Amino acid sequence: MEVWDKMQTAGSMLVAMAIRGSRTPMEVVMEDLYHRVARWISSSQRVVVFTGAGVSTESGIPDFRSPGGLWERYNPDDFTFQRFQESEEARLRYWAMSTEMYRVLKTARPNAAHLAIADLYRIGRLDCVITQNIDGLHQASGLPRDRVIELHGTALEVGCLGCGKRYDRDEIQERLLRSSQAPRCEDCHGLLKPATISFGQQMPQRETAEAFRRAEQSDLFLVVGSSLVVQPAASLPLAAKKAGALLVILNRDSTPYDSLADALVRGSAGEALGKIVGEVRTRMGLAPST
């Protein structure tokens, strides 16, 4: 009897797969989910996309917390803002880690996830991207600068902690090759640091306020590739949800806000976003993106 039940179940699954074009049950579930998110995006007025390091791993840039991520090789406590200010040794260690990351960032190119988000903008379905990333890949994918809010700064520039003067990153990298000391400002001799926000460093006020404003005004807030553990950025989904937005979380691993999400998509950012935005185009009667 039990064997017969199993055969019947397997048989009906095969029939269902045949009807659906030989897709597995999991593929059917995922496609239903993509369609639902695409439907929401199509009918939303203000879609805000919030990205973390996971949106760039498919461009070859490691994130911090996944296996093989940067925090497996470095101790985050060594890279606080306070340590950077206090000791030359900490600054040299910081520049060594940051140089390693910059070499990867410099050659990285936008991947399918960045391109799908830029496509959302092109078809008029994106208010803005709020990113925790420092790699500049959203801008490189074709998003105008004023549509990208960089919460944690950019690794493509260097700033003076004394007078605020900005430098091109490549110029400072050249200087690092010629000196055994941490670089200083040519105007005020202040400490130079990549224009990114370290642990313990004050968040940029204008960008942070703007990010919360846009999150609260959004009607759909889509998280892509963030563990949602770095504050205050991780509070943005909550702020959006409290203000009435639909919350969609697309991430490979679980996050502390999963139970709040209206839709939870587990998987690759590039693949899922490509399918979701493709479906948005279809719903809008547009040709597939080339």
The answer to whether residues 64 and 53 touch, using CB atoms and an 8 Å cutoff, is yes
Judged by beta carbon, residue 98 or residue 132, the one nearer ligand NAD is 132
Using the rule CB under 6 A, is 66 a contact of ligand NAD? yes
Judged by beta carbon, residue 18 or residue 229, the one nearer ligand NAD is 229
Please identify which residue in 35, 65, 165, 175 interacts with ligand NAD, judged by CB under 6 A.
65
Judged by beta carbon, residue 70 or residue 185, the one nearer ligand NAD is 70
Using the rule CB under 6 A, is 211 a contact of ligand NAD? no
Catalytic residue, from 35, 114, 138, 152: name it: 152
Closest residue by Cα to residue 121 from 289, 251, 249: 289
Instruction: Give 213-216 contacts, CB < 8 A, sequence gap 24+.
Output: 214/46, 214/48, 214/127, 214/128, 214/130, 214/149, 215/48, 215/50, 215/130, 215/239, 215/240, 215/243, 215/245, 216/240, 216/242, 216/243
Using the rule CB under 6 A, is 223 a contact of ligand NAD? no
Judged by beta carbon, residue 183 or residue 225, the one nearer ligand NAD is 225
Indicate the DSSP class of residue 250.
E
Using the rule CB under 6 A, is 150 a contact of ligand NAD? no
Q: Quick check: is 152 catalytic?
A: yes
Please identify which residue in 123, 230, 243, 260 interacts with ligand NAD, judged by CB under 6 A.
230
Using the rule CB under 6 A, is 135 a contact of ligand NAD? yes
Kind of pairing between the strands at 246-251 and 220-224: parallel
The minimum distance between CB 163 and ligand NAD, in angstroms, equals 25
72, 142, 164, 197 from 172: Cα distances, Å:
27, 26, 15, 18
Segment interacting with ligand NAD, rule: CB under 6 A, options 3-11, 63-71, 120-128, 164-172: 63-71
Judged by beta carbon, residue 178 or residue 206, the one nearer ligand NAD is 206
CB-closest chain residue to ligand NAD: 54
Using the rule CB under 6 A, is 154 a contact of ligand NAD? no
The minimum distance between CB 158 and ligand NAD, in angstroms, equals 16
Q: Which residues contact 26 (CB under 8 A, 6 or more apart)?
A: none
Using the rule CB under 6 A, is 54 a contact of ligand NAD? yes
Using the rule CB under 6 A, is 204 a contact of ligand NAD? no
Beta-strand runs (E) in the chain: 47-51, 128-131, 148-150, 153-160, 166-168, 192-196, 220-224, 246-251, 263-266
d(CA 180, CA 64): 27
Residue recorded with tokens 């996944």: 66
Please identify which residue in 40, 47, 48, 58 interacts with ligand NAD, judged by CB under 6 A.
58
d(CA 172, CA 157): 9
Which chain residues interact with ligand NAD by CB under 6 A? Answer: 52-54, 56-58, 61, 63-66, 69, 132-135, 152, 225-227, 229-230, 251-253, 268-269
Q: Which residues are catalytic?
A: 152
